[in-house]
Amino acid sequence: MSVRTNPFEELERLFDRMSHQFEDSTRMWEPEGPFRRWTSEFDEMAVDLVDHDEEFVVTVDLPGFERDDVEIQVTDHTLRIEAEHEEATAEEEEQYLRRERRRESMRRSIRLPGDVDKEGVNARMKNGVLTVTLPKLEVEEARNIEIE
């Protein structure tokens, strides 16, 4: 007696394979170092930079990151933001059907359009959104000099 297979099961397996291949093809090389790693295209931080009269305000989306996971540096005309966290893993081995949560690391450098007061910079984080306020340096007015 011959056993008939369900054609819909075959189609479902085909779509699963296509889905995995599509996920693999949406990855790109990370442009750092000789030992590059594959990263998703969406590992990039979404950033807004707003120029107010007396300050620049940078807003960054960092979903899943806590305040202690983020490091901020300000140098000259550059704001550097690095965020890194690691998934907590249990001691016993789990049998995962699908595992996407992992160690995550992101970094971004933002060129600022003007000089900032490094000592006056402050940052706050709420619900995965980082807001960095960078006060502008006051530009001294030009001084007229009389010729003797």
Residue of 108, 60, 103, 58 whose CA lies nearest to 84: 103
DSSP 8-state assignment for residue 79: E
Q: For 101-136, give one letter per residue: b (16+ CB within 10 A) or e.
A: eeebebeeebebeeebeeeebebebeeeebebbbbb
Note the pTM of the prediction, 2 decimals.
0.59
Across residues 131-147, what is the average pLDDT? 84
Please write the tens of the pLDDT for every residue from 73-115.
998 788 999 998 876 555 456 677 766 666 678 889 999 988 8
Extents of the domains making up the chain: 9-42, 44-87+103-138
Q: In this structure, are residues 80 and 147 in contact, taking their beta carbons and an 8 Å threshold?
A: no
Structure tokens at 74: 């300000």
In CATH, which of 1.20.1560.10, 3.40.50.720, 1.10.10.60, 2.60.40.790 is domain 44-87+103-138? Answer: 2.60.40.790
d(CA 4, CA 50): 64
**Quick one: 3 exposed, middle or buried, by C-beta within 10 A (0-12, 13-18, 19+)?**
exposed
d(CA 90, CA 51): 45
pLDDT of residue 8: 78
Please write the tens of the pLDDT for every residue from 15-58.
778 877 766 555 444 444 443 444 444 457 889 999 998 999 99
| Torsion 61-67-68-74 (CA) sign | positive
